[in-house]
Amino acid sequence: MKADIFGNMALIYFHNKNNPRKAFEFFDQALKIHPANLKIRRDLVQALIIEKNFDTALENVDILLSENRDNGIYHNIKGLILLWQKKYEDALPCFKIAYELVSVKSSIILNTSVALNLAGRHEKAEILLLEAIKYYPNDICFYFAIIENSIRAGEINKAMEYTKIMFKQLDDQIIKQGLEFYTDNPKYAPMSKKIIAPVILSMYEEIL
């Protein structure tokens, strides 16, 4: 019970009081009392990811997996951490396992496609993203990912075409907000605002 209290205090200090240092002190106290509390450790991992402390996050997600290898969410989180550590090929098996274990697969598909893109496997990434857009036509992250994949592959014309499709499907304000929220955000797969924003802006001006 005391561990749960410390865990809740950690979340309050991290999310509501914007005090990560104090939050991590509470996480440490909670896990000293109850090191097998998976919820508290998962909350810690999420906080470490937001703070971009990927090495410590990886250590803790490995502890989670040692307790439950059949949890697809843990495998997906591990893959996400490896993505941000630029270990793209290492991340892919994590996403494959996660895909087989969870029912809601959109984030795993996004993470996999970004890993393929950043590993230089652009054609496979494009195939996966095109299929994803069919199933999730209103998910802006898939558009950002396929635009960036095309740019990295040196196919600017494709990037512009995918940007046009995005503008037809989604509201301008949603796209603008999405650029600020989803890109360069460690809670999501790495997508670069610096890379995709110029193409999106140029197409927006052309459409206007």
Residue 42 in domain: yes
| CATH classification of the domain holding 12 | 1.25.40.10
Residue 119 in domain: no
Residue 63 in domain: yes
Residue 28 in domain: yes
The angle that helices 156-169 and 193-207 make with each other, rounded to 10 degrees, is 70
> How many residues make up the chain in this entry?
208
Parent domain of 48? 1-68
DSSP state, residue 14: I
Map tokens 């999310």 to a residue: 15
Q: Are 39 and 27 in contact (CB under 8 A)?
A: no
Interatomic CA distance for residues 30 and 37, integer angstroms = 9
Residue 6 in domain: yes
Domain count for the chain: 1
Tens digit of pLDDT per residue, the chain (208 long)?
789 999 999 999 999 989 999 999 999 999 999 999 999 999 999 999 999 999 999 999 999 999 999 999 999 999 999 999 999 999 999 999 999 999 889 999 999 999 999 999 999 999 999 999 999 999 999 999 999 999 999 999 999 999 999 999 999 999 999 999 999 999 999 999 999 999 999 887 665 4
**CB neighbour list of residue 161: distance below 8 Å, 6 or more residues apart:** none
Residue 164 in domain: no
Q: Are 48 and 14 in contact (CB under 8 A)?
A: no
Residue 127 in domain: no
